[in-house]
Amino acid sequence: MAGRDLDILERVYPEPTTEEESRCMELLTPAEFEIFSHRMQMIALEANEVLIRTLGSPAGLAGDVGACIYTAQGDPASAAVGIWAHAFGGQLPIKYIIKHWMDDPTVGVRDGDVFFCNEALCGCVHPPDMGTFMPVFYEGRLIAWAEAMAHTTDTGAVDLGGFCMSAESRYEEGMKVTPIKIAEDFQLKNDILTMMENMVRDARVSTLDNKSRFAACMRIRERLLEVAEKKGPDYVVGGLRKMIEEGSSAARKRIEELNDGIYRQPIFMDMEEAESRGGGQYFIRVMVSIEKRGDRLIADLTGTSPERATSLNCRKHIIHPYGTGVIFCSHLFPDLPPSIGLTDCVELKVPDGNLFNPSEDAAITLGPASAFAANQGCFACMARLLFDSDLRSQLTSTYPYVTLIAVWGGMDRKGNVFASLGLDLNAGGFPARVDKDGVDTGGFHVATRSDCEDAEDIDVLSSMSYLFRRQGTDNFGHGMNRGGAGLEYAYLAHKSPMMILGNNGGCGRFSSAPGIFGGYAAPPLIGVKLSGSRITEMLENGDPLTPVSIQELLERGETLGGTMDVESPMLEIGPFNEGDVFATMQGGGAGYGDALERDPASVVRDVTGGLVSDWAARNVYRVAFDRETGLVDEGETARLRSEEREDRKRRGISLEEFEKEWSRKSPPQASLKFYGSWPNCD
């Protein structure tokens, strides 16, 4: 029905090597292959730069993109990773095109053709992630595919900004296009561009992004043809397949050296129902089990909450690029060129009806947030797997799993209708490592090259002002090595004719990142909404009491005027009027190891730098120091830490006592409506 071919969604692994590819691989010497592999990486990176420099979407300008070179069969061979899913996410639409349109006389695949797709049922991620695909022919022979994907700000869904919180089915999520030809003979088709413009709020961004992705594909094509002209098309065909096979072989060899075993981690997501739909908190369970067996990893998501009428459902084919794949590629194989071969050794098990394997009509716009939760469970499992291995140095604690994503739009300061996306999601804290602290405001773990953009640029391009934007205090997990601090910020409505704002996310009750091996979890997040304030007046007058942190915002509430609500980070889309403020934060990374083993001098340095509070230094790290000189009182610190260790022994209870008390507890029944069975994980 409607061109759906769900069998395509199972083809997330490399296609069988053809006889032609086998013959061509034999033509490359080891030295030639190394040169070829490096050249492909440079080509993909160049295409990524084309995207970042030409896209219209704010997300694209911040590096929320991916470019990839695929084999003629549609397997990702060399990727430039802005977002992992964008780099690897084109294989299924390409395989759909090859299967259905290659020999169709009404469509066909010819030199100069360009295709578009953003339909998850055909292999894309979710509606905002829009992909462009171009076959690369050399003298009439198909030798490769070029792909460029980027997050476009709006899809025309019932909620603006692309991330549709309120959708309960796919029919509320806006434009979802199956693989369609948007260019012939190297010219974009105006009828198709006009159709797509008509489906969204900001037509300018839609067309500019289409042209940008087209330009990136053309750059890949141009560079591949240069190689084919110099070395021959067989060199390209053989080299691309060899990159996948070499990656697969190296990945399996590395996994085989690890200890066999099964590692499990539950992750709990707390979300908030929109007030327009009844309000209230609800919980979702993500169960992650990683089994290492020989040269394979088996990721099992059995026990995860069932599909529900929310947009948090997630197609299982994106778990590799957004979940298991990004973890294994970035932590097990950071030294290997990214290709689909690196995830060839990973098997995924997801039951039907699961949150990660929903029905065809399910809403999936916020599916990446669920994938991030599975991702986080994988990090916790991988830490245990790597601890007793030669790869222990690559061990980390966990990243914050639910990145907060703000969307806003309306009429900008030039009178244009627009929709935008907050880029602060790219400034979360990275987790503590086995031998050092996490990176402060390090980024977004599935967007390794993305940026949060300058506040001034966002003000100019997206008509959103900031009251403040800074690294947070204590918004990470403490430990022997602490997690990196996440970003803390406040949006301010200022001089825009009309604006609405919403914030997607959770972690208002649960930690956004559990700690590892004694490290503390990152704390839950909050949202502060201040309506009708006098802050713009305070800014104009240079008032020294203008808040520059969430703490000051809360402490000075009475002097700011208006009405303040302290709530979860989720904010239902609604009016954002002159002087209104919404403050929240991106989560920090989790801690590693016992906080009582942290170097006291490092604690003092963090207090001086504003990252650790005096309270945490005294009550978590148990460090005594002179606030004026910064000198540690070694004797008192040793006494405090010894005292805390003895207190821990007194507070401790047996497992049997804990289970007896814990089994009496249950969340409110209303919070379990999307959870599934309680207390078991059937």
- E strand or H helix that includes residue 197: helix 190-197
For 526-537, the pLDDT digits (tens) are: 899 999 999 999
Please report which confidence band the pLDDT of residue 323 belongs to, taking 50, 70 and 90 as the band edges: low
Q: Which residues pair with 132 in a beta bridge?
A: 116, 148
Please report which confidence band the pLDDT of residue 107 belongs to, taking 50, 70 and 90 as the band edges: very high
Angle at which helices 233-256 and 203-231 pack, to 10 degrees? 100
Could you give the count of Cα atoms lying within 13 Å of 438 in the half-sphere of its Cβ?
A: 41
Closest by Cα among 331, 444, 346 to 396: 331
The 3-state DSSP class for residue 151 equals strand
643/161: higher pLDDT: 643
Angle at which helices 30-54 and 233-256 pack, to 10 degrees? 100
Give pLDDT, residue 443. Answer: 86
Give pLDDT, residue 110. Answer: 97
Find out whether 118 and 209 touch, Cβ atoms under 8 Å: no
404/233: higher pLDDT: 233
The percentage of the chain sitting over the pLDDT mark of 90, rounded to a whole number, equals: 64
Q: Taking all residues of the chain, what is their mean pLDDT, rounded to a whole number?
A: 91
Cα dihedral angle (448, 449, 455, 461), rounded to 10 degrees? -120
For 123-156, the pLDDT digits (tens) are: 999 999 999 999 999 999 999 999 999 999 889 9
375/327: higher pLDDT: 375
Give pLDDT, residue 413. Answer: 86
Give pLDDT, residue 567. Answer: 81
CA distance linking residue 124 with residue 309, whole number of Å: 21
Find out whether 276 and 572 touch, Cβ atoms under 8 Å: yes
Give pLDDT, residue 480. Answer: 98
For 609-654, the pLDDT digits (tens) are: 999 999 999 999 999 999 889 999 999 999 999 999 999 999 999 9
Give pLDDT, residue 322. Answer: 67
φ, ψ at 492 (rounded to 5°)? -130, 125
CA distance linking residue 676 with residue 362, whole number of Å: 17
CA distance linking residue 194 with residue 187, whole number of Å: 14
- Give residue limits of the domains in the chain: 21-253, 400-593
Give pLDDT, residue 325. Answer: 66
Q: Is the confidence at residue 330, as pLDDT, over 90?
A: no
Q: Is the confidence at residue 226, as pLDDT, over 80?
A: yes
Please report which confidence band the pLDDT of residue 451 belongs to, taking 50, 70 and 90 as the band edges: confident
Find out whether 442 and 431 touch, Cβ atoms under 8 Å: no
For 28-39, the pLDDT digits (tens) are: 999 999 999 999
Closest by Cα among 245, 495, 266 to 381: 266
What mean pLDDT is predicted for residues 266-288?
A: 82
* 417 CB-contact burial (10 Å; exposed 0-12 / middle 13-18 / buried 19+): middle
Maximum pairwise Cα distance, the chain = 83
CA distance linking residue 8 with residue 422, whole number of Å: 33
Find out whether 521 and 478 touch, Cβ atoms under 8 Å: no
Q: Is the confidence at residue 1, as pLDDT, over 60?
A: no
- On the question of a cis peptide bond just before residue 334, with omega within 30 degrees of 0, the verdict is no
Closest by Cα among 301, 268, 221, 347 to 675: 268
Q: Is the confidence at residue 586, as pLDDT, over 80?
A: yes
Find out whether 554 and 392 touch, Cβ atoms under 8 Å: no
Give pLDDT, residue 425. Answer: 86
Find out whether 315 and 9 touch, Cβ atoms under 8 Å: yes
